[in-house]
Amino acid sequence: MRFIAVAVSVLGLVFVMTGVARANDSPYVGSNYKNHTVKKQKSYTVLASRSKKHTRSKKHRKAKKRYSSSGTYRGIVRAFPRRIRPPGRRVFIFSPKYKAWGAYNATGQLVGYGRASGGANWCKKLGRPCRTPRGTFTLHRKGSSSCRSGRYPRPRGGAPMPYCMFFKTQYAIHGSPYVPNYNASHGCIRVKVPAAYWLHRNFMRYGTRVIVTSY
């Protein structure tokens, strides 16, 4: 297995990220990786119902108790190296290519990771690409577990976005019960609801750097 280096240049700092493998275009992931396949998009009504039930479920309460003060979060997908060159501040990285996120502390230690789903290559109903914008951003707004979209579904919005964390005007990282192994959103970064809770409570602060890599 050959390893590739992904260089990320941010404000003069270069993070050399080794450990992402090139094996049939699949990332290096933990041995407990599960490749779930979702064949079709769920309706917003179903998603809203699932999200509401999920945030009130016994499983979610247990996850909140577990991650309320935890310094780490481990999902089923690890596509990033355990350590990078110290960035000097907290960094959240999303890879649309590998459908995964990673959270690094100021010393460059990977403290959180998991599955993620970004903006779709094409949104049929909108008639345009919906890719999550690539680049470097900073977190500027956070919402609660009852956060909802003001744009989707059209025309009134209302799609559930629990623990939303905005890094660009209309783009946020948020929880969702539907995080497929392909990019499916209108542009936001979907993560599992427990992961969103952990990020919202323990990691993401105003000014935290958010990096979105290429598709």
Give me the CATH number covering residue 112. 2.40.440.10
The encoded tokens of residue 167 equal 């890094």
Q: Domain for residue 147, yes or no?
A: yes
Q: Domain for residue 168, yes or no?
A: yes
Residue 91 and residue 212 in contact, taking contact as beta carbons nearer than 8 Å: no
Domain hosting residue 108, numbered range: 43-212
Secondary structure element (H or E) that encloses residue 56, with its range: helix 44-56
| Residue closest to 4 by CA, chosen among 81, 76, 105 | 81
Q: Going residue by residue through the chain (215 aa), what tens digit of pLDDT does each one get?
A: 333 333 333 333 333 343 333 322 323 233 222 333 333 344 444 455 555 566 566 666 666 666 666 789 999 889 999 999 999 999 999 999 999 999 999 999 999 999 999 999 999 999 999 999 999 999 999 999 999 998 998 888 899 999 999 999 999 999 999 999 999 999 999 999 999 999 999 999 999 999 999 99
Q: Domain for residue 15, yes or no?
A: no
pTM of the model as a whole? 0.73
pLDDT of amino acid 45? 41
